[in-house]
Amino acid sequence: DGKKDEAASSQSPEPTPSESESKAPAPPMTIDKKASYTMSLGTSQGDIAFTMDAAKTPQTANSFKALA
């Protein structure tokens, strides 16, 4: 008869609420807030070095140092 069967449309499911993310506490502050720190990130294409100014970003610099 030449008619195509069309699938019945359905409504999208309601989103499921995500579980609350638990965050680890910040590491204790162990850096000199007046210093600069050079970090190195190793990749398959070579290392990337960058300097972090602890006076401007103390928590970030401290976190990177704690993870190193």
Inter-residue contact 41 to 11 (CB < 8 Å)? no
* The pLDDT value given to residue 56: 95
**Window from 2-6, 28-32, 63-67 with minimum mean pLDDT:** 2-6
Tell me, what amino acid is at 56?
K
What does the domain layout of the chain look like in residue ranges?
36-67
Q: Which residues contact 54 (CB under 8 A, 6 or more apart)?
A: 31, 32, 33, 34, 35, 36, 37, 61, 62
Q: Is the pLDDT of residue 9 over 70?
A: no
pTM exceeds 0.85, yes or no: no
Mean pLDDT for 6-23 is 73
C-alpha–C-alpha distance, residues 24 and 42, integer Å: 25
- For 24-55, write each residue's pLDDT tens digit: 888 999 999 999 999 999 999 999 999 999 99
